[in-house]
Every structure is written in C-alpha cells, then in structure tokens.
Amino acid sequence: MMNIMIGRNLLICFGLTLISMASRAQASEPDKSPLDISYAPYNYPILKFQGKHPSAMPFARVVYSRPQKNGRALFGTEIKYNEIWRLGANESTELELFRSANIGGKTIPKGRYTLFCIPTPDKWTLILSKDNYTWGAFSYKQANDLVRLSFPVTRVSSPPVEYFTMYFNETNHLVITWDDIKVVAPIVFSSGK
C-alpha cells in the first residue's frame, strides 16, 4: 500500500514538473509575430475607461499579427508584388466595423471582415472578404470578396518601421505601415449604429 502511494506521489510530481517546464519554455520563446488590436476612435479603451467616449462600443477594430522586418528586404521580395498577402502574419487580419462606414468612397455595412492586400510599388489594393476565421491567405477565394479598394503608397522617412503596424489615427483613418511604406485608408463612420 505504501509503495502505491509513493508511486502515485512521484507520478504527480513528475507531471507537475513537466507542466512547469512546458510553461517556462513557452514564456522564454515569445511569438515572433505577436497579436495586436487597434481601435477607432484612436485610444478608445482609454477614452472609455475615462468616461470620455459617448458610445459603449468602438466604431471599429483591427486584429492582426505583427511580423518584424528583421533585416529583410520586404516589398517586391519577401512580399511579392501583384500577389495576395494576408496583411501581417499568422491568422488573417480581421477588420470589425461596429457601425457602417465609408471606406475609400465605398459604403461598407457593419460586420466582421478579413483583410487581404495586393501590393504594388505605387498602390495597394485592400480586399475586404466575407470569409472569416482563416489562417494566412492560403484559402483566399475572390468569390468571397465584399469589395476591393485601392490606396496610394507613400514612403516613410528613416528609420524604417521594424514591426508591421496597423492603427486608426486621430481622424479614424486606417494607417498601415512597415519598413519604408505607409498606406492610409480614409474611413468615415456613420453617425448611427
């Protein structure tokens, strides 16, 4: 009986040790492309916390992963021109509109969309897809496109942006920047819900 109890206790200690080692291994190797979320209006979580935003809901949010430049040549090399790109890394980037909006002159109903991009040296075509919960652009189908919108590319002065970044600026436009590239998608949100 005593040997059974000792064996059981040793087995429990061994299991706890394995769990502890696994959690330390995960903590020591962070995701190379961490997840990020940006809200419109700019600084929405802080404004809500301070009671300075009249609505309980934000206008929009973008959820994406942030790969690093890490010394690589990106556009035209790592990220091919004229090919579908997931706008970031890992899971496909999601744009959620909590109210309808006009993006680049097109009316978009509120809802959740997956964002893709076809980059070229002078313009990016942003694609809002109705196919949600995808990983990368591997299962992209043009038949699921809600709309395609083109925006000009501008060059960012040095230093280059190390982490792929998406955010809503003070005028609620979606800004996308990485390396020496910047693209701004003008957004006007409806006043109602």
pLDDT band with cut points at 50, 70 and 90 for residue 15: very low
d(CA 140, CA 131): 8
Please check whether residues 158 and 183 belong to one and the same domain: yes
Say whether pLDDT at 23 is over 60: no
Please check whether residues 107 and 123 belong to one and the same domain: yes
Please check whether residues 136 and 164 belong to one and the same domain: yes
Please check whether residues 9 and 97 belong to one and the same domain: no
3-state helix, strand, coil in the chain (%, to 5): 20, 40, 40
Residue 17: per-residue pLDDT: 46
Please check whether residues 23 and 43 belong to one and the same domain: no
Say whether pLDDT at 14 is over 60: no
For 121-149, what is each residue's pLDDT tens digit?
999 999 999 988 888 788 889 999 999 99
Please check whether residues 131 and 169 belong to one and the same domain: yes
Q: Which domain holds residue 1?
A: 1-30
Please check whether residues 26 and 15 belong to one and the same domain: yes
Q: How many domains does the chain have?
A: 2
Please check whether residues 13 and 48 belong to one and the same domain: no
Pairing of strands 123-129, 106-108: unpaired
Please check whether residues 185 and 104 belong to one and the same domain: yes
pTM: 0.79
Please check whether residues 1 and 44 belong to one and the same domain: no
From residue 90, alpha-carbon distances to 114, 116, 182 in Å are 13, 13, 21
Contact 169, 185 (CB under 8 A): no
Please check whether residues 68 and 13 belong to one and the same domain: no
Please check whether residues 92 and 15 belong to one and the same domain: no
For 46-57, what is each residue's pLDDT tens digit?
877 787 766 668
pLDDT band with cut points at 50, 70 and 90 for residue 11: very low
